[in-house]
Structures are given as structure tokens and as C-alpha cells.
Amino acid sequence: MNSSHAQPAKSRFTIKPAEIMNHLPTQFFATLVQNVNREIMAGHDVINLGQGNPDTPTPKHIVSSLQEAAENPLYHKYSPFSGFPFLKEAIAHRYKEDYGVELDPETEVAILFGGKTGLVELPQVLLNPGDVCLVPDPGYPDYWSGVALAKAEMSFMPLLASNGFLPDYSAISEQDANKAKLMFLNYPNNPTAAIAPSSFYEDTVEFAAKNGIVVASDFAYGAIGFDGHRPISFLETPGAKEVGVEFYTLSKTYNMAGWRVGFALGNAEIIRLINQLQDHMYVSLFGGIQAAAQTALTSSQHCVTELVARYESRRDALFSELGNIGYNANKPGGSFFSWLPVPKGYTSASFADLLLREAKVAVAPGIGFGQHGEGYVRIGLLSDEERLREAARRIGKLGLF
């Protein structure tokens, strides 16, 4: 028999994933993107308001800083494992200036590959299998990912309109409060766009200290507050550093989503644990990006003021047009999202499907953020005013309101 015609033996070798891979939550936004892209490939003009991706470029002075830093041979080598001290000093400077919070750059600041990385890492350094984490519902789905990787369990805290989309600590069972070791919070909130008062954070510190629960404050939208309101940092609260950490990112504040620069701030022991884990995974960010991030944090913040004003103007344009079509909803107090109730007779998913199919407007169904997200859709203020008005007009033509 001619060996050149012989068929190779069928391999019996199979790849068996680790058990943990079967427990990771479905990436909700991946499906959303696929549905939108399908409509675009079919030739439709889709107004995509379903994602949280900033639509304007990074300010020029930050880009120029990276271009200059990229030529520095110092940054062509490995960066220090925990990052350059100048970047940690820059975030400490920004927090002191914006929130009056004192941070020790060396022990109370950890540099992250974007805020999402820290949110997923934190459960892995604090939770053992079977431990409980209190998670907002609705909430950012990547909280679930970190808990799953730690093989821990979640207890959901409903965020209801009747309570300003804040968790009600009195409604948490004594059993869950005793078992919980970690709690995620996020204000300005994704997806509800709610903001938190200082009294809420005072209650949070008291609740956490009483029950031995670490607080993780996701402050990704901390720079974006409307109507003259400056969002409050959890770390402004007396006792906050004793019970938790805050996560901050340059993605939203400076339109640097693709640069992947974030920070964990606060409790020194938690910061040490995050750095210890990251020592096994990374060799910090490219030094040129760290230099540009320092520029963002320490130079004029006029670009941030302009950005917030742009989102507020977009919000007002959208809600003016929603009012014209009879779609009643509450204006967001912060973030670059709007949380809109679905009309009677629809679920969040069926309403989102209708809008994409008939109006060519993409929104995120609330059920993708948790059980208590049902009844709402999330809209991003991430197109210019005319496109937002056009989206509302297209929705109006469906005759639902």
C-alpha cells in the first residue's frame, strides 16, 4: 500500500477544560455585539446605544505624552512589577485634589490593567470556595466573573427604584450578613445611573465593620455627575479605608478605555494582596502608558469638565426627544447611561429585540444585569446629540407611547 495515500489514525486526544470554565457566566455583551453586527452587515443604519464604549478620542495632550514617552529607552525595558512610583503619586494627587482623600502612594495604591482586572482579582485574593459575596442586582456582570473564579457564592442585593437604586442593608438576612466576606458597590451606578449620598456610605461603613465585610467600591464613573453634582468617593467616608478599597479607571474620565489603566485604592493589606497576585501574572503596564496616565492625572482637568458637559448636554437632548414621543423616564444623575422602563406587554429582552429589529436602535436589556434589571433597558449617551434625538424619534414611530 502506498504510504502517501494512508489515512492518519484518528486521534483519541481530547482537550478537557478545567471544571471552573463550566461555571463562568456567559459574556452577555458578546451576544449583544453579535446581534448589532448582524444588522449592520445586512446594510442597516444602526444607532448603537447598547455598549459602554466612549465615542470620543483621548485628549490630544495625553496622546502626545505617550508619543514622546514611547521614544524613551527606559520604558522599553520591563517596568517595576507594581508600577512606577510616579504614577501612584499622580493618582494620590488626583484623589487629594478632587476628594480631599489622603493616600499613601506606596502602600494604598495598586496599578491595574484596567478597572475590570481589579474587580475580577479581588474575590480571588479574599474569598475561599463557599464564601459569600454580596452583589448588586442589577449590576456589572464582571462582578459575577471574579466570584465564580474564586469558587465562592453570591447573594444578591436588589437595587429598587423605591430605594433610589441603593441596596437596603436592613433587608439582608442575618445569615447572609454573617457569612459574607465581600460586597460590591458601584455609584454612579451602571446600569441604573443612580448616585449615592454621603449618608449611604456612612451606613455602608457601619454595616461592613459590624459584619466583617470588605467593601469594594467600583468608582468607574466617579468623574461624571450632572446638574452641578460631584459624585462622592467611598473613601471620603470616615473609616472607609479600614473596611475596603475603591476601584478607579481612566477609561471614562479621560476616554482611555483602550489604554487599560486602572487603580485599586485604600486598605493597605488588600492593596498588598492585589499586588502579590499581580506579581504572578504581570510585569506592570508599558512605561510609556504609565507616563501618559501621569499626564492625564496631573495636568489641567479642563478636558474632564468638557466631557461631563458633553454628556449632560446629550442627556438633555435625549430626554427632550423622549418627552416629545411620550416616553416618561427619570433623568440620570451620573454616569453616561440612562435606565429606561420598558412599555407594558414587553420584557426587557423582547423590547430590546423590537428596537433593534424595527427601529434599528441597539439598547442593552436590563435582564443582562441581573434579575432585578428586568423591566428596564440601558441606553448609553455615547452618540452625538442628533443621533440620540434620531434614536428617540425612531422609537416614537413604533407607536408604543
Q: Percentage of the chain with pLDDT > 70?
A: 97
What is the rounded end-to-end Cα distance, in angstroms, of the chain? Answer: 76
Residues 191-244: tens digit of each pLDDT: 999 999 999 999 999 999 999 999 999 999 999 999 999 999 999 999 999 999
Segment 14-30 mean pLDDT: 84
**Beta pairing, strands 214-218 & 244-249:** parallel
Residues 305-351: tens digit of each pLDDT: 999 999 999 999 999 999 999 999 999 999 999 999 999 999 999 99
Q: Enumerate the H helices of 49-197 as residue ranges.
A: 60-69, 85-99, 115-126, 142-149, 174-179
Residues 267-297: tens digit of each pLDDT: 999 999 999 999 999 999 999 999 999 999 9
CB atoms within 10 A of CB 179: 17
Domain boundary among 298, 314, 336: 298
Q: Is position 13 within any domain?
A: no
Per-residue confidence at 11, pLDDT binned at 50, 70, 90?
low
Residues 346-393: tens digit of each pLDDT: 999 999 999 999 999 999 999 999 999 999 999 999 999 999 999 999
Secondary structure letter of residue 253 according to DSSP = H
User: Global pTM?
Assistant: 0.93
Residue 29 has pLDDT above 80, yes or no: no
For residue 266, give its domain range: 60-298
Q: Is position 11 within any domain?
A: no
Residue 30 pLDDT? 77
Domain boundary among 276, 298, 320: 298
Q: Is position 308 within any domain?
A: yes
CB atoms within 10 A of CB 383: 18
Residue 257 pLDDT? 95
Domain count, the chain: 2
CATH number of the structural domain spanning residue 112: 3.40.640.10
Q: Is position 14 within any domain?
A: no
What is the Cα–Cα distance from 15 to 17, expressed in whole angstroms?
Answer: 6
Residue 308 DSSP SS3: helix
Q: Is position 69 within any domain?
A: yes
Q: Is position 4 within any domain?
A: no
